[in-house]
Chain A
Amino acid sequence: QVQLQESGPGLVKSSETLSLTCTVSGGSISSTIYYWGWIRQPPGKGLEWIGAIYYGGTTYYNPSLKSRVTISKDTSKNQFSLNLNSVTAADTAVYYCGRSGPTIGYMDVWGQGTTVTVSS
C-alpha cells in the first residue's frame, strides 16, 4: 500500500523559499502511470492545485504560481519536492502531497498534510 509523508519547515519567513519533501513508501515514484504532485489549502479557503511531476520528469504547474514554483524528484530516495520562492502570507496553508494517475486529476493517495506558516 502506497503511503506519502510530507516533511519540511513549518515556519518560513516572508520573501524566502518554502521547501517541502514528500517521501513515498510502498511504491516507486518511477512507476510509469503516475504523477506526483502538490495541492494546498489556505486557512478558510478551498483546495488549490500547485502542480505535479510525471514519472518521466515532465512538470505541470498552476499558471498563477508557475513563476515561483519548482517540483522535482529524486528517484534514488523515492522522494519528490516542492520549492516555492518569494513567499508571502498568502502562501500560508496546509500543503498536501499526492499521487495521481492514470490521469492527472485522479488523485487517489495523499499525505496527511503539513502546515506551513509564512511569517513577516
Chain B
Amino acid sequence: QSVLTQPPSASGTPGQRVTISCSGSSSNIESNYVYWYQHLPGTAPKLLIYSNDQRPSGVPDRFSGSKSGTSASLAISGLRSEDEADYYCAGWDDSLSGVIFGGGTKLTVL
C-alpha cells in the first residue's frame, strides 16, 4: 500500500479533461514538492510536472498540476489517444526520508 494514494484507473474520451488525484499527508505532499510522471510499461518514465505545477520544457500545456494541503492533482485537457498511459505522483517524505511514489493511475482514452 502506497503512502501516496491515487485512484487505480481513470478514463475519458478524446478532447475531454481528466483529473487524477494524489492524496498524502503533512510529511509529504503538504511540506514538499509534488512531481508527476507518465509511464508506458517497457519505456522510461517521463517527468510531466515538477514543483507542484511546473512543466519541463517540451511538455504540452495540456498537462497541469496543482496542490492544496495534503492533496495534489494532475489535469489533462484536450485528451488524446497518446495520453493513454500510467500516471504516478511522487515526492519526498520527511518521515521516511525518501522519495515515495503513488500507486499509479492507469488512464484509458475511450
Using CB atoms and an 8 Å cutoff, list the residues of chain A in contact with chain B: 39, 41, 46-49, 51-52, 60-63, 94, 96, 98, 103-108, 110-113
Assuming the A-B contacts A46-B88, A46-B104, A49-B99, are A106 and B44 also in contact, with contact meaning beta carbons closer than 8 angstroms in the complex?
A: no
A65 to B99, CA, bound (A): 12
CA distance A110 to B103 in the complex (A): 20
A63 touches B96 (CB 8 A): yes
Q: Which of B33, B39, B92, B98 contacts A47 (CB 8 A)?
A: B39
Contacts of B2 in A (CB 8 A): 46
Further pairs besides A63-B96, A108-B56: 10, Cβ < 8 Å: A41-B39, A46-B2, A49-B90, A49-B99, A52-B99, A60-B98, A103-B92, A104-B99, A105-B90, A113-B44
Q: Are B103 and A105 in contact (CB under 8 A)?
A: no
Q: How far is the CA of A47 from the CA of B44 in the complex (A)?
A: 11
Whether the pair B103, A46 counts as a contact (CB closer than 8 A) is: yes
Q: Please, which residues of chain B bring their CB within 8 A of the CB of A108?
A: 47, 56
The docked-state distance in angstroms from the alpha carbon of A39 to that of B37 is 13
- Shortest C-beta distance, B67 to chain A (Å), equals 13
**A105 to chain B: closest residue by CB:** B35
A115 to chain B: closest residue by CB: B42
- How far is it, in angstroms, between the C-alpha of A49 and the C-alpha of B28 when the chains are bound? 15
B91 in the interface (beta carbon within 8 A): yes
- 25 residue pairs bridging A and B, Cβ less than 8 Å apart: A46-B2, A47-B39, A47-B88, A47-B90, A47-B104, A49-B90, A49-B100, A49-B101, A60-B99, A62-B96, A62-B98, A63-B98, A94-B42, A103-B50, A105-B32, A105-B33, A105-B50, A106-B47, A106-B50, A107-B37, A108-B47, A108-B56, A110-B44, A110-B45, A113-B42
| Cβ of B102 under 8 Å from chain A | yes
Task: Determine if B68 is an interface residue (Cβ-Cβ < 8 Å).
Answer: no
> Please, how many angstroms separate the alpha-carbon atoms of A46 and B33 in the complex?
20
Residues in B with CB closer than 8 Å to A46 are: 2, 86, 88, 101-104
